[in-house]
Structure 1
């Protein structure tokens, strides 16, 4: 049979494909293509390959050639999964750039980029050998259990059997059963993406005749439920073209049996169809607005600058109407036939702004973020690939979608740290990645912010980027009145109630009396950050991380915000036996709790990670705020980003000091951004808002700069310091985190690695040092920082040397058990 195959394909080329596997391996593997698959392969298609002894993986073809690998014998690819490529050549170029720039492997990029439903699952399937008659009395207990289970379910996975037997290792037992010819073992790949299907109901054409319809109702007099279903169909058909079976059951109340009876009688025709999972799919409302004179001038200016600049920074004060300029640019880009990516830093913003943008773009806008399930993400992927969406609105992961012709990327709130991916690799910044991505399509990038990152503003000042400025709020609304209140003074005068100064309490009460809304900002979730013994100062710590546990009143437990560990709250100090335990500090949960006692008639809600975990929770909070079902919203930094509600007139910053006193060279920049952004939520439509900043340090330079809205003073002051101490944007930073479960071994490893790097880079190497949190998930951490000047140093060569040093380190015995994680542009 093999000889016949060789003879049949004797005139065909022997092809080899290099594939990207979703693994953290340094090099791509090459596989041989069976002759009968030669015509099926193409760059960007998925193939099934065996890697290692038995594991099957989905891989992406990255190149095709006729050269066999020199170092190993190429295995055959087992299957080609796609009729058309699902990854474009522009994407592959982007993946390779990300891997190179952010010092990771292209397999890690693939893992981050592809939706889980497009990465196929490899599972060992166990089935009964039906040709074998088994005497069950000769079987061991566990063998008997497995066969009994296979009688009930014809196919089981290894994990199913492990659960059934209550043990981890089942392969030896299955191997024995296989040798006895009792079972079959096969490695199968199953595609996880299944289209969503719905049953649609239509009326048989013969009953569209009036006489036939009257006759039908006469027949159904003895079947009232079926008559109800028919009436419900007629009612629904007046308002919508497509009617699903579920909608008909709900409208009629007749039940599934009545619908089935009408289908059996051929009154209704049932048809199953694939439907979209995206609820806004077919909505298309028109909306009209007019740009102000300043907006129109800036709009024209941006288009002019795009003629000779690929990237333009739009620096506009909060509520200046940046979104309206975005919409005009999107309209022009769609009219030219090209796609637009609108990046937002938070899912909170994505769900909020989609409601505004769908008024203008209807079904041509797609949404992509991590709250979508696997099938929904795969569906968006396919629609973008087929050029069905003209606009994609999404969080950072949407840079990975397979665009057809990307003409414009808008990066809103470009300063936000949420654009940076910290774990796992690739540790990319979506803002910077977007600039490279747009270049691959010869597209443009618009960065928008009321408080630009220093890097972007620096690039605009040296004319690498264009710069457009909006200096006035839309509609002539004044910037909010900002009042700074000293917590120390209020405490001395005994005016403070709980965590609220008399000024903030008074302003909140006035807003409530006027039927207006309040947002309170506290940049820490949970109830209390620290539980401490008053006698011996014992504080409960996480067993896996070097952090104290935070008390959450909702669960009545102590939580670790790094690894998720939880434990019961002690009533007695485990160290000294004292009962004098008290909570120190406060988070959003405590603010909400105490506010409900001080203002019992106010409707209070909380918006933080704990209250927005479920899929629709966030949207429900925003809807309630818009519909004025909430008087006071308490939140973390989520409330600072892009929310636009007309009746929010008072903003309270409960404790500005937690932002200002952070040990980070960006602390002042981040504090200004956060305070200015939160303040910008107040008084956005015709009413001047009020912002109350509570602090122990009312004379702090950054607070004065926020009050004066003086970004330039902040910028020039901070940039002098950064130049002196060799920080971005004058220098590039690469961090290396070395991790190990043994602190002594880690110390030796980090010293060795630091010394090896110094041989090449000298005093550009700083450390190793223990970071602020030196143990996470049972791994101790040491950090090495490398600083490279922008001029006179090839960063590509520096990265190549760092890779070589890490590789050499990993070949030594000393590296055993360690993890080395490079992070390029870590902040």
Structure 2
């Protein structure tokens, strides 16, 4: 089997192309090349009507006809002749705004991204724009939904079994207690609009179209004092950054500093240097670390700061984009997509916690914001600072090779000592009646001491719910979601089983649905159970929980953190929400209830993630004058990630892990492409995966690449779709890698039934 050829020009005329399939005399006139937001890696030529000839410029949005429908595209080039007969060239239908939305720098950057990650230029341009500008008409109205007041709980209970989707939506809205954008609510719960419309007909919810709110909610002020004196290491790092900004020379720095070493102050001083020279700054942080506390710090330092996060409405995001485009704000703080902020004369880009997986986009275009940050800074002659206490092996390797300049902050500021870490082997712990305990004896003892001393503690478990496993002792099976290859998690507050893959809910059955034996057993632990057991052990202790079940709104997040900061809470229990961006001087104890879930995932990065987890969570303790203590509970105490993580010995861990990756040809010593096939029909998925595998094999063999699979993906069923994946491995210096990526992208675009995802340099292997 030979690889399918890329579609020829003639097959695309019906899509609105104005390119000829045979030589023709050039036609003179006004034409533009347009990148349309479709998964086709090419641009199309359109005729510019006379009234628009003087107005259309490169970077403008236009409406064009494509595949028989109106679409929004971006003008990426202007031409005065075309080789297609004039009668076959379609006209631009409309100009959507007189001002270009992209300058030359961002056009070139998005083209690089599209080529690097195998996406179309049009899709990439779309990802760089606020949602309102991806559509022909901007967002002036939004639909909001809210539960009506005074709903009888019995009315909600009636829906529980008869209409579980409506029950889930109504319960969510009742708990929220305020209107929410309908689209956002449905996205969070993985629902269609049908349950919402039915609830509206039943008079249980209100759905209203309202004017979009363009005023961004402002977090409460939180002053962060400017340090009177910096450490020698901080001063040295700042001087390296300042010199490059002053010289307008690009350089990428890897700022490797232990938690509490003052990396943030280095970022702030670097941004100040850029602003002092009239330049702009972008600071990228993981969405989960974009806390009200973090935002307030930056606003107290720089005043008017543009903050971009997932909690903004489309209208708020558009207004922020316009202010940046007009040059009214020169500092941007945001998550992944903030790297596309339309700032002029960029002086510095900072990527905090650069190792975080959330910087990788999981939908097309599947770019990595860290790599885009480095490239954007390079093109702008700006400085890029990648900061982390536990750098990714990719960045660590590049720093070792001299591609990045390493700056080190090995000590905590203020002369504080590193927290003392205790690794507890939970295989030797026994609870009441021989059951496995949730907390080790040491953790209970240290909790008692911490609370008695008037200090605070954080307990971390990266798994929400009460228990993750419902087990039948009879047939030895666990209850799993019928739509996903995922076990059902019991949530005690709502007394239901929940699939964390598709959000489906169901009541707890009285007996095993497989063998009909009663007496199902709950196994394992989630953050909800940690909170419950803690309250039983210490009834007088003030406990709050932070996970996606309790933090429905950003206001919830701010309220809990405020209470914790005021010492109205003694112990904070949570998932990854509490692992980043928190700085509370009274916290002297951190307990990692189980370090094992991340360690045993089917992912070659699992050890790296576990090491990072221990280091990042441990960094929450002892950030004030009081010494910190860390308890890491595990059933794998001998694993290098646990051993070295408990000692905060990143260098030894990175050296060992790097050697192992090199032997296997995995990143950072090789390149990967993951191709995932998804469909409701397992037969169709397997058939296409086998076919593409054979086609790819022809290309791979000719270029010295290797293929693994096809094989079932670790999550082989998700939301009712079967999943099979292939892995393509290449050497770092393989010149044919890009050709194969482009072939895969074109091949994926030709499939109409089976969904094909091409993920270049994947971060998630699930």
Equivalent position of 2:290 in the other structure: 349
Q: 2:721, 2:377 → 1: CA distance?
A: 38
Equivalent position of 1:70 in the other structure: 84
Q: Give 1:28 shift.
A: 2.8
Aligned counterparts, 1:323-722, within 5 A: 323-363=264-304, 365-422=305-362, 424-491=363-430, 498-722=437-661
Contact between 1:525 and 1:588, CA under 8 Å: does it hold in 2?
yes
Q: Give 1:51 shift.
A: 3.4
Q: Is 2:727 aligned against 1:785? A: yes
Contact between 2:644 and 2:650, CA under 8 Å: does it hold in 1?
yes
Q: 2:100, 2:633 → 1: CA distance?
A: 56
- Specify whether residues 283 and 40 from structure 1 end up closer, same or farther in structure 2 by C-alpha distance, changes over 3 A only: farther
Q: 1:765 aligns with which of 672, 696, 707?
A: 707
Q: 2:528, 2:126 → 1: CA distance?
A: 36
**3-state SS of paired residue (1:531):** strand
Q: 1:770, 1:481 → 2: CA distance?
A: 43
Equivalent position of 1:747 in the other structure: 686
**3-state SS of paired residue (1:729):** coil
- Specify whether residues 195 and 505 from structure 1 end up closer, same or farther in structure 2 by C-alpha distance, changes over 3 A only: closer
Deviation string for 1:393-429 (max 9, x for gaps)?
A: 000011122121211100111111111111x211111
Contact between 2:348 and 2:382, CA under 8 Å: does it hold in 1?
yes
Contact between 1:496 and 1:502, CA under 8 Å: does it hold in 2?
no
Q: Give 1:79 shift.
A: 2.6
Contact between 1:118 and 1:193, CA under 8 Å: does it hold in 2?
no
Contact between 1:286 and 1:359, CA under 8 Å: does it hold in 2?
no
Aligned counterparts, 1:292-311, within 5 A: 292-303=231-242, 310-311=251-252
Equivalent position of 1:61 in the other structure: 75
* Larger Cα-atom Rg: 1
Contact between 2:257 and 2:389, CA under 8 Å: does it hold in 1?
yes
Equivalent position of 2:62 in the other structure: 47
Equivalent position of 2:717 in the other structure: 775
Q: 1:444, 1:291 → 2: CA distance?
A: 21
**3-state SS of paired residue (1:817):** coil
Deviation string for 1:365-384 (max 9, x for gaps)?
A: 11001111111100110011
**3-state SS of paired residue (1:671):** helix
Q: 1:97 aligns with which of 112, 123, 138?
A: 112
Deviation string for 1:615-648 (max 9, x for gaps)?
A: 3222222222212122111111222213111111
Q: 2:223, 2:276 → 1: CA distance?
A: 16
Is 88-97 or 479-488 further displaced after alignment?
A: 88-97
**3-state SS of paired residue (2:290):** helix
Deviation string for 1:215-261 (max 9, x for gaps)?
A: xxxxxxxxxxxxxxxxxxxxxxxxxxxxxxxxxxxxxxxxxxxxxxx
Q: Is 2:46 aligned against 1:110? A: no
Q: Give 1:121 shift.
A: 5.5
- Specify whether residues 732 and 101 from structure 1 end up closer, same or farther in structure 2 by C-alpha distance, changes over 3 A only: same
- Specify whether residues 756 and 647 from structure 1 end up closer, same or farther in structure 2 by C-alpha distance, changes over 3 A only: same
Q: Is 2:758 aligned against 1:818? A: no
**3-state SS of paired residue (2:630):** strand
Deviation string for 1:740-788 (max 9, x for gaps)?
A: 2221232222122111111121361111111211111222111111111
Q: Give 1:31 shift.
A: 2.7
Deviation string for 1:708-752 (max 9, x for gaps)?
A: 221111111111111111111111111111222221232222122
Q: Is 2:84 aligned against 1:84? A: no
Q: Give 1:492 shift.
A: 7.7
- Aligned residue pairs: how many? 665
TM-score by length of 1: 0.76
Q: Give 1:472 shift.
A: 0.8
**3-state SS of paired residue (2:394):** helix
- Specify whether residues 107 and 446 from structure 1 end up closer, same or farther in structure 2 by C-alpha distance, changes over 3 A only: same
Q: Is 2:257 aligned against 1:316? A: yes
- Specify whether residues 698 and 118 from structure 1 end up closer, same or farther in structure 2 by C-alpha distance, changes over 3 A only: same
**3-state SS of paired residue (2:553):** coil
Return 5+ residue gaps in structure 1 as ranges: 1-12, 124-161, 168-191, 197-274
Q: Give 1:294 shift.
A: 2.8
Deviation string for 1:569-598 (max 9, x for gaps)?
A: 222322232221121111111111221111
Q: Give 1:437 shift.
A: 1.4
- Specify whether residues 716 and 288 from structure 1 end up closer, same or farther in structure 2 by C-alpha distance, changes over 3 A only: closer
- Specify whether residues 286 and 705 from structure 1 end up closer, same or farther in structure 2 by C-alpha distance, changes over 3 A only: closer
Q: Give 1:686 shift.
A: 1.1
Q: 2:744, 2:72 → 1: CA distance?
A: 31
**3-state SS of paired residue (2:281):** strand
Q: Give 1:92 shift.
A: 1.7
**3-state SS of paired residue (1:47):** strand
- Specify whether residues 602 and 609 from structure 1 end up closer, same or farther in structure 2 by C-alpha distance, changes over 3 A only: same
Contact between 1:57 and 1:122, CA under 8 Å: does it hold in 2?
no
Return 5+ residue gaps in structure 2 as ranges: 1-27, 139-192, 199-208
**3-state SS of paired residue (2:283):** strand
TM-score by length of 2: 0.82
Q: 2:337, 2:240 → 1: CA distance?
A: 30
**3-state SS of paired residue (2:645):** helix
Q: 2:78, 2:132 → 1: CA distance?
A: 25
Is 32-41 or 313-322 further displaced after alignment?
A: 32-41
Q: Give 1:353 shift.
A: 1.0
Deviation string for 1:660-699 (max 9, x for gaps)?
A: 2233221211111110111111000111100011112333
Contact between 1:49 and 1:57, CA under 8 Å: does it hold in 2?
yes
Equivalent position of 1:212 in the other structure: none
Structure scoring higher RCO (CA < 8 A, sep ≥ 6) equals 2
Q: 2:372, 2:714 → 1: CA distance?
A: 28
Q: 1:703, 1:286 → 2: CA distance?
A: 35
**3-state SS of paired residue (2:37):** coil
Aligned counterparts, 1:1-40, within 5 A: 14-40=29-55
Is 13-22 or 520-529 further displaced after alignment?
A: 13-22
Equivalent position of 2:673 in the other structure: 734
Is 476-485 or 663-672 further displaced after alignment?
A: 663-672
**3-state SS of paired residue (1:771):** strand
- Specify whether residues 539 and 121 from structure 1 end up closer, same or farther in structure 2 by C-alpha distance, changes over 3 A only: farther
- Specify whether residues 629 and 282 from structure 1 end up closer, same or farther in structure 2 by C-alpha distance, changes over 3 A only: closer
Cα-Cα RMSD: 2.8
Q: 2:724, 2:417 → 1: CA distance?
A: 49
Is 592-601 or 379-388 further displaced after alignment?
A: 592-601
Q: Give 1:804 shift.
A: 5.7
Equivalent position of 1:178 in the other structure: none
**3-state SS of paired residue (2:713):** coil
Deviation string for 1:485-532 (max 9, x for gaps)?
A: 221222189898840111111111111111211111111111111112
